[in-house]
Amino acid sequence: GAVVSQHPSWVICKSGTSVKIECRSLDFQATTMFWYRQFPKQSLMLMATSNEGSKATYEQGVEKDKFLINHASLTLSTLTVTSAHPEDSSFYICSARARTATGELFFGEGSRLTVL
Amino acid sequence: GQNIDQPTEMTATEGAIVQINCTYQTSGFNGLFWYQQHAGEAPTFLSYNVLDGLEEKGRFSSFLSRSKGYSYLLLKELQMKDSASYLCAVTEQAGTALIFGKGTTLSVSS
């Protein structure tokens, strides 16, 4: 089946620094990828839709200057958390939709960010 | 607006059957998905419904009624490994992101 790989799985950083998370579709091309955030014991909240070759579309309440998304190729999207603060600590998960009959999303392994 | 409701927690015993309900109110509808998520891991796809009726896949079945905005996930012959969070998600238009409910944490005991 389709595989989405995310890196790093865990990252700890100091407050004020920036962290980049990569999301790759390994065996298919993804013109669109989706970035979700999940706080403990809560559901996945859509942050933004990443479109290859164009600007990302952000959900209401998500700061586009803080969460920079780049989708430079059909297999790679990156999320950069800039000037991270402790409240940004969360589980970030990317996903992509392969050409399957059901159109389900395939998820990366997730990246757990802890900001000290 | 968008609203997807499912129970927060459920408990069951090994070998039993459990039904997890989901109701949704969205501006559009292009399919309903169920995902399983173990703690600290990414969600994995379980089922998809776009037409009314029951879809069966092994021990798991999913039902959809579009007129009622209602779905359920049925898990049979429960095993300890089925202890996880079950997420109901809806896509409003083809190709768009999934909107997730808050998830139902299922605890299976022996």
Give the pLDDT confidence of B62-81 residue by residue, as tens digits: 999 999 999 999 999 999 99
Write the CA distances from B99 to A78, A111, B79, B83, integer angstroms. Answer: 21, 20, 28, 23
- Is the Cβ–Cβ distance between A19 and A90 less than 8 Å? no
Q: What confidence category does residue B14 fall into, taking pLDDT thresholds of 50, 70 and 90?
A: very high
B 82-101 residues with CB below 8 A of A? 87, 91, 94-101
Average pLDDT over residues B97-110: 95
Q: What is the pLDDT of residue A1?
A: 62
Interface subset of B 25-64, CB within 8 angstroms of A: 31, 33, 40-45, 48
Query: How distant is the Cα of A42 from the closest Cα of chain B, in angstroms?
Result: 6
Mean pLDDT (chain B) is 95
pLDDT along chain A (116 residues), means of 10: 88 96 91 92 92 91 95 92 96 88 85 96
CA–CA distance, A6 with B77 (Å, rounded to integer): 33
Q: Is the pLDDT of residue B92 over 70?
A: yes
Q: Quick one: pLDDT at residue A2? A: 67
Of B42, B97, B101, the CB nearest to A34: B97
Q: Which residues of B touch A93 (CB under 8 A)?
A: 42-43
**Which of A57, A102, A113, A114 should be substituted to probe chain B, the one whose Cβ sees the most B Cβ atoms within 10 Å?**
A102
Q: Distance (Å, rounded) from C-alpha B64 to C-alpha B52?
A: 5
A with B: how many residue pairs have Cβ under 8 Å apart? 54
> A109 and B44 in contact by Cβ < 8 A?
no
* Residue pair A95/A2 in contact by the 8 Å Cβ criterion: no
